[in-house]
Amino acid sequence: MKPEDFDSYWQRLEQELIRVEQAPECTEIPLRSTPEGKLFGLHLTSLGGYRIFVYYCVPHGKGPFPVIYRLPNYGSVVHIPPFEERCNHIAVALCHRGQRLSDQPFAASYPGLLTQGIESPHTYIYREIAADCLRVMDFLLTREEVDQGRISLVGGDLAIWTAAMRSQAFALYYAPSLFYKSLHKASSSSHYPLEEFNDFLRAFPESKGQVETTLKYFEPINFASSVAMSTMMVEESEGDGDDLAMAFGREIDRCTTYHSSFRDGVRQAQWLADKLETGEPLLPEHWS
């Protein structure tokens, strides 16, 4: 169920974010640059004046270039974008607040981050993390080297939030993750990170209603209808995401994970290359 004030909740975030200057600071990291392109450490200011770090990789040659913007997974470390993507795309990887390189002054706990401030949608840490994701898109939209018509988003629920709130992106490659039917999935799991929800509810059972309310603001089903771009959704098992797919209100591409980083990786690279019209994708040697 979508909260009645869902749209105004996120509009308020947008209003707060727009008042914060991006203050971009882009510094080449020579250690990570290659003959194929430069890698920059990009710092931006996000909600609350928080300074976030982003890997920003620009290939040599004449732009503008298509973009692959990878939204982070759950964990403290974000990898530098893959070499193969960096050769012919602007490859972007955000370290949201709390993750390493964006961990001053706030270093996230793992486990812990998933329930931080979860008692209210206004204090939940993922409200600010969502702002960090949007901030990077705002930066991309100002850049001459970016092909504004060919920005793709890749990731879990942070990617669908970003896609819903930044329609300028062209394609979304999305695998539902921690916020899709969170409590339902947590109730039948003892694995982290979902177990963090169970831990929290065991410790604070009286908060269950508040937690349910908060999570509705982050439930991907409630974002799907705002995503208009080309979309591929990767499901855990066949039919697993039926209600989410329905929520898009249109046909989207769907597939089931192979549980193989090789086969899933090849499919992702091919889908992105098709949408971004970049020809045959460059793949790691072991995938060819």
Partner 1 sequence: MIKPDDFDTFWGELLECAEKIPLNASLSLDTMRSTEQVEVFEVHYDSLNDVRVAGWYCLPRIRPRPLPGRVFYPGYISEPTLPKDYAEQGYACFGAAPRGKLRSNLQFNPGYPGLLTHNLVDRQSYAYQGFYVDAIRVIDFLTEQPEVDSERIGIQGSSQGGALTLVAAALRPQVKAASAGAPYLTGVVDAIDLTRTYPYEEINDYLRLHPQNREAMIKTWNYYDCINFADRIQCPIIVYIGLQDDVCPPETAYPLMDRIRSPEKKLYAYDGHGHDANHHVHDEVVDTFFDDHLKT
Which residues of the chain form contacts with partner 1 (CB under 8 A)? Answer: 30-32, 34, 75-77, 79-80, 82-84, 100-101, 107, 109-111, 190-192, 195, 199-200, 202-203, 258-263, 265, 284-287
Q: Which is nearer to partner 1, 168 or 261 (CB)?
A: 261
CA angle 71, 75, 81 (to 5 degrees): 45
Q: Which is nearer to partner 1, 239 or 284 (CB)?
A: 284
DSSP 33: -
Pick the closest to residue 124 from 177, 179, 78, 176 (CA basis). 179
Q: Which is nearer to partner 1, 82 or 176 (CB)?
A: 82
CA dihedral of 32, 35, 40, 41, whole degrees rounded to 10: 0
Quote the least distance from Cβ 226 to partner 1, whole Å: 32
- In the three-class reduction of DSSP (H, G, I as helix; E, B as strand; rest coil), residue 58 is classed as strand
Quote the least distance from Cβ 269 to partner 1, whole Å: 12
Q: Which is nearer to partner 1, 15 or 109 (CB)?
A: 109
Quote the least distance from Cβ 120 to partner 1, whole Å: 19
Q: Which is nearer to partner 1, 35 or 49 (CB)?
A: 35
Quote the least distance from Cβ 33 to partner 1, whole Å: 9
Q: Are the CB atoms for 114 and 189 separated by under 8 Å?
A: no
What span, in angstroms and rounded, lies between the C-alpha atoms of 65 and 54? 18
Report the 10 Å Cβ neighbour count for 206. 7
Quote the least distance from Cβ 256 to partner 1, whole Å: 12
Q: Which is nearer to partner 1, 84 or 138 (CB)?
A: 84
Residue with tokens 């669908």: 160
Q: How far is CA 42 from CA 93, 94, 99, 101, 136, in A?
A: 10, 9, 15, 11, 10
Quote the least distance from Cβ 284 to partner 1, whole Å: 4
What span, in angstroms and rounded, lies between the C-alpha atoms of 246 and 12? 27
